[in-house]
Structure 1
Amino acid sequence: MDEKNRIDTINNIKIFTGNSNIALVEKVCRYLSIPLGNASVGRFPDGEIDVKVDEDVRGSDIFIIQSTCAPVNDSLAELLILIDCFKRASSARITAVLPYYGYARKDRKDEGRVPITAKLVANLITEAGADRVLTMDLHAAQIQGFFDIPVDHLLAFPVISEYYKEKDLSDFVVVSPDVGGIKIARQYSNHLNMRLAVVDKRRMGPEDIEVGFVIGDVEGRNAIIIDDMIATGGSICQAARVLKEKGAKDIYVCATHPVLCGSAVEKLAEAPIKEIAVTDTIPLNNHAKSLGTKIKVLSVSRLLGEAIKRIHTNTSISSMFNDH
């Protein structure tokens, strides 16, 4: 741990977590050279969540790191109860750090009689007592506007792009699996000095994808498919097959959030994909670990740790991405 990254504990910063992603939180604490806060997040016999903070937090700058990943409802409830606990314990400021923001898929009414769960969760976090939110690679950028408190939106782009730069790849093309991902794919293609292609995709249902055609030249080139998350894996796997049909060579996939639900692992195992790079915003379950060397986990702990340090010291977060 470099001395320049150390935060003096007299500044009264404290980091706590629920049960969703303890391994990531421990890495963040090591980066900042501060101990993980002493709190127990357990269950009553009937399954209700029981929270107890076992140290003084009055006047402290509190950061609660909790990915709202599976089990989603438990993770979200733990976060809300922790926020309420610290609010009632007279903490000076509470920042909800969500490496993965669940319930984000429903960010608008695209048909009748559906909820906007991304807004609902934003309301819950705010009403529970959070003063600000730190999150990463939201499924839709406009979710920031659902909050009436400050939101710092980090991108895993520096971590993922650095990984591919170190691999010294040549003759590659960056591919967006749909039209909506063109902006982030272009950012990668510019930074990695690679060409850009897009797979035209039409979603027929929550798990049914109809893939159209490829915009751009992929024949005889290696491809890196960029996405914010891999959920059921249908979109990514179909895109990989289309790229193969269009003459692409090796196909790599990278995504920030490895949701990997349903039959995603089986689909990815069978798809013509050489490697899948994801981050640790969500811990890999045992089933996903069966992919073995086909899946590579990159840590965003330093990125989160640096952002937490800058929030605590009231310095710029956007400058972290100026070189990218």
Structure 2
Amino acid sequence: MSDLTVVAGPSSPELAGMVAAHLDAALVQAELRVFSDGESKIRLAGPVGERCIIVQSTHPPTDSHLMQAMMIARKCADAGSKVCAVIPYLAYARQDKAFLEGEVVSIALVAKLLEAAGVSSVVTVDMHSQAGLAHFARIKNISSIPLLAQHAAGMGLARPIAVSPDAGGAARVEEFARLLNTDFVALKKTRDRTTGEVTVDPEIGADVSGRDAILVDDMISSGGSIVKAAGVLKKGGAARVYAMCAHALLIGDAASKIQAAGVQEIVATNSIPGKYARVDLSKALAEAAISLF
């Protein structure tokens, strides 16, 4: 038995298999049974080594996937393993501070729960903010931007311009544009903290006429920001509009709304499995995880 084991969580079995292959590690499946009341029961299908890498993204159903990750971690820790949790999409990362009076800083609680479950280190991808990272004792936050830019370079884009849907993503889109050897612009977006309503300033700040515009974001959830941004870019004369992100949550009919807004294609990493997961993170995740032991 190898001293290094990769445990495939129920949310990320394919990604876990690829991580294990990169590391030439033993792969153990975490078998899941869900009872009629919604409770999860986890059984590891084999023994684990002294070093254990759990691969479990916490996309919806968020709470179930998070609980399963903690159950796996506890089982591995109880077996004497040192545990690294690879959680490409880390739920609650957006709840990194109290925006309104009385709100819970949920990512701080998630960090404490993972530690209590036996996790000694965490690997994630494009976590929403530096404030969230500060709650973890040992964490590596991988940027998907180099991989997304590499993919974009092969898309046959016409005079591309990289676009952030909001000012908060300016550094992200600047790096993407640098790697793609093109220019960039950040749109001006506002969101009502109470209603969640998004508005995007129609003043783009750059000439996009006849150019392919690539909207770059860390995650696409409801798709509201991308829809509004795509509308502004189309009105500005953009030829084709693409949406690229690390995490394609695409809740409900978000994908169809985005396409109806004129977006040619949605491209995401495989942090969340699905039809838009076209950019592979497994090598980067494997290298980050092994470095934490």
Bin for the TM-score computed over the shorter chain: over 0.9
Match for residue 165 of structure 1 among 134, 145, 153: 153
Q: Which runs of 5+ in 2 are unaligned?
A: none
Match for residue 204 of structure 1 among 192, 206, 211: 192
Q: 1:207–1:234: 8 Å Cα contact kept in structure 2?
A: no
> Counterpart in 2 of 1:15?
6
Match for residue 46 of structure 2 among 36, 44, 55: 55
Say yes or no: does 1:269 pair with 2:250: no
Give the 3-state SS of the residue equivalent to 1:215 in structure 2: coil
Give the 3-state SS of the residue equivalent to 2:162 in structure 1: strand
Distance 1:219 1:278 in 2: 25
Say yes or no: does 1:136 pair with 2:117: no
Match for residue 255 of structure 1 among 206, 227, 245: 245
Deviation, 1:241, is 0.6
- Cα distance 1:35–1:243, how it changes in 2: closer, same or farther (>3 A)? same
Deviation, 1:18, is 2.1
Q: What is the identity, as a one-letter code, of the residue corresponding to 1:174?
A: A
Aligned length: 291
Say yes or no: does 1:219 pair with 2:212: no
Give the 3-state SS of the residue equivalent to 2:272 in structure 1: coil
Task: Give the root-mean-square deviation of aligned CA atoms.
Answer: 1.9
- Cα distance 1:116–1:166, how it changes in 2: closer, same or farther (>3 A)? same
Partner deviation per Cα, 1:75-114 (whole Å, 9 max, x = no partner): 00001111111121111x1111101001112111121111
Deviation, 1:47, is 3.6
> Counterpart in 2 of 1:100?
89
> Counterpart in 2 of 1:182?
170
Distance 1:168 1:269 in 2: 19
TM-score of the aligned structures, taking structure 1 as reference length? 0.84
Question: Which residues in structure 2 correspond to 1:59-74 (within 5 Å)?
Answer: 60-74=50-64
Deviation, 1:46, is 4.3
- Cα distance 1:296–1:257, how it changes in 2: closer, same or farther (>3 A)? closer
- Cα distance 1:54–1:173, how it changes in 2: closer, same or farther (>3 A)? closer
Deviation, 1:54, is 4.2
Q: 2:163–2:215: 8 Å Cα contact kept in structure 1?
A: yes
> Counterpart in 1 of 2:279?
298
Say yes or no: does 1:43 pair with 2:47: no
Q: What is the identity, as a one-letter code, of the residue corresponding to 1:191?
A: L
Distance 1:222 1:44 in 2: 48
Residue identity over aligned pairs, in percent, reads 31
TM-score of the aligned structures, taking structure 2 as reference length? 0.92
